Amino acid sequence: MTTDMQTYRDGNRAASNAADAIKAALVDLGLPESVWGSVRPMVTHSGKPYVHLGMVRAEAAERIAEAIRASSPS
């Protein structure tokens, strides 16, 4: 099944915006490019947007988890 070009473009825009937001958040945490450099927008053949986060070192994952916990309502 293929998707129409507009659906793909919309999915690509959503995925790119989300990937950029994740990259910015990781930069704000002071994490190096080796952590956020592998973040990529992805679009499925049906036009669904995803963000590939890639593999990160355990200490970077801990910092990310701490930031998420700190921003969660108690």
* Model confidence, pTM: 0.86
pLDDT of residue 2: 64
Q: How many domains does the chain have?
A: 1
User: Which conformational region is residue 28 in: left (phi greater than 0), alpha (psi within -120 to 50 degrees), or beta?
Assistant: alpha
Q: Which residue stretches of 1-74 are H helix?
A: 5-28, 33-36, 58-71
Q: Domain span at residue 67?
A: 5-71
- Identify whether the C-beta of residue 51 lies closer than 8 Å to the C-beta of residue 18: yes
11-66 pLDDT, tens digit each = 999 999 999 999 999 999 999 999 999 999 999 999 999 999 999 999 999 999 99
C-alpha distance from residue 32 to each of 5, 50, 69 (Å): 35, 22, 21
Lookup: tokens for 25: 């958040």
